[in-house]
Chains A and B, each alone.
Chain A
Amino acid sequence: MTTTEKLKNILVEDLNLEELTPGDIDDDAPLFGEGLGLDSLDAVELVVIVQKHFGIEIRNMDEGRTAFQSIRSLAAYIDERLPVR
């Protein structure tokens, strides 16, 4: 499973996006506002999710702002920091 697919599954499950399936989420749609419609409390949840499921700590707001543009940008942020297997 790719990081993108895994992220979509985790978001639907952990953020209780009950009206969506992972397949409904567009890779490039904005996570916040229009698009997936997440809000500021979800941003805090996302920081926790990334650390809990991928072991990656988002250290400051600038990093988070770049990573949280879309599923694609968040997956790229995670892949860049995952240990090479």
Chain B
Amino acid sequence: MSAAGRIVIEGIGMVGSFGCGVSDFSRALADGGSRPASLAVSTGSGPIEIPAHLADTSPLSEFVPARTLRRIDRFSRLALLGSFLALRDAGLADTERRRLGLIVASGHGATGITYAFLESFIKDGDICASPTHFANSVHNSAAANISILSGIAGPCLTVSQFHLSVPSALATALRWLAEGRADRVLFAAVEELSELIGYAWYRRRGGAKSVPMTPLRTAEETAVPAEGAACLLLSRAEAARGGYCALGEAVTGSRPDDGFPLPDAGLLVLSADGRKDAGRRFAALARNARIACYTPLYGSMPAGPAFDLAAAALILKGGRIFPSPGDAALDFPATVPAGGELLGAPRVSCLTLGDGATFGLATLENP
């Protein structure tokens, strides 16, 4: 890609169990520090507590008045907070948002308010369904809230493709920028950990026992459900003022495990998140690559690959690879050691796997 067509990550906004903002995320990457809390879930055999990476949205009051927030659900609040943080990180003024596009990526969407709306239907009848719940349950509502409250006037889209939501939405963002539909795109990957998602996790796991997340030990099921937002301000190089790194490509596809050509990158960041089925495929694909994995810092969620992108951007900017948190990675001999190490290469790729043989791959590079 020519310098004129280059896309730059100009700002980053992070919200998760590690805290809020780039500095909290960087600290967690360096220290390996983020512990799951717990989420109360109702089950047929009574209430239980499950381990969960939960995020605090209270810093949103710095950007949006409380009265305005009262109709905005938790999913949108997470998306809004990450978005405002990314815009502030880039120093983007209100007057620069006319040609700013917006893409929200989420595997689950606004499950809390959607199921509250459906439950009110079942419990009280359709005549008593809340119009506010309905408005928030609409697929594009978070994107609409971000667009209205932050003054974004460009195209606006929500992409949901479960585990491939992030690479798919990222590819669309790059297309918009290449076509000149916008000078910048705010890319917001978001998940909300509602009680419903917690219950689904409990049923999948068959219990609520908490174990440390060890995603690089692929024979074990150690996923811990999570919520959060990872937002990137993507800008055409000619419009950007500085930034973290360039975004080379983002692709999705389908390949057999033994025929996957790994990119020529100095590091491969894996979105392995403790799900055993995906873990086996990661091991088959990347066993001999120099790899890192940061999911124990923010947990298991379909939007996780966007957190990997933010980590990769910080690695490229600082030139040093953060250590992978968790126990020794028996299935990946070339894992970055506990103390971290110098990157010594101009590119970092992020690999995520979807269902079947599907994959998503994004490559970041130094300009």
Q: Which residues of A contact B (CB under 8 A)?
A: 14-19, 37, 41, 44-45, 48, 51-52
The residues of A that contact B258 with a CB separation of less than 8 Å are none
- CB of B60, distance to nearest CB on chain A (Å): 12
The residues of A that contact B124 with a CB separation of less than 8 Å are 52
- CB of A36, distance to nearest CB on chain B (Å): 11
CA distance A39 to B346 in the complex (A): 54
Residue of A nearest to B69 (CB): A18
CB-based closest 4 A-B pairs: A16-B70, A52-B128, A19-B66, A44-B131
CA distance A17 to B66 in the complex (A): 8
Could you list 6 further interchain pairs (A-B, Cβ under 8 angstroms) beyond the known A51-B127, A51-B128?
A18-B66, A18-B70, A19-B67, A41-B71, A44-B131, A48-B129
Residue of A nearest to B132 (CB): A45
B71 CB contact (under 8 Å) in A16, A37, A48, A52: A16
Sample (9) of A-B pairs whose CB atoms are under 8 Å apart = A16-B70, A17-B70, A18-B66, A19-B66, A41-B132, A44-B131, A45-B130, A45-B132, A48-B127
Residue of A nearest to B65 (CB): A19
Residue of A nearest to B129 (CB): A48
The residues of A that contact B70 with a CB separation of less than 8 Å are 15-18
CA distance A51 to B124 in the complex (A): 9
Q: Which residues of B contact A (CB under 8 A)?
A: 66-67, 69-71, 124, 127-132
The residues of A that contact B132 with a CB separation of less than 8 Å are 41, 45
CA distance A52 to B119 in the complex (A): 13
Contact between B131 and A48 (Cβ–Cβ < 8 Å)?
yes
The residues of B that contact A44 with a CB separation of less than 8 Å are 131
The residues of A that contact B130 with a CB separation of less than 8 Å are 14, 45, 48
The residues of A that contact B67 with a CB separation of less than 8 Å are 19, 37
Contact between A45 and B131 (Cβ–Cβ < 8 Å)?
yes
CA distance A16 to B128 in the complex (A): 17
The residues of A that contact B131 with a CB separation of less than 8 Å are 41, 44-45, 48
- CB of B32, distance to nearest CB on chain A (Å): 35
CA distance A16 to B132 in the complex (A): 11
The residues of B that contact A15 with a CB separation of less than 8 Å are 70
B128 CB contact (under 8 Å) in A19, A41, A48: A48
CA distance A19 to B65 in the complex (A): 10
CA distance A12 to B71 in the complex (A): 12
CA distance A41 to B68 in the complex (A): 13
- CB of A47, distance to nearest CB on chain B (Å): 9
- CB of A66, distance to nearest CB on chain B (Å): 21
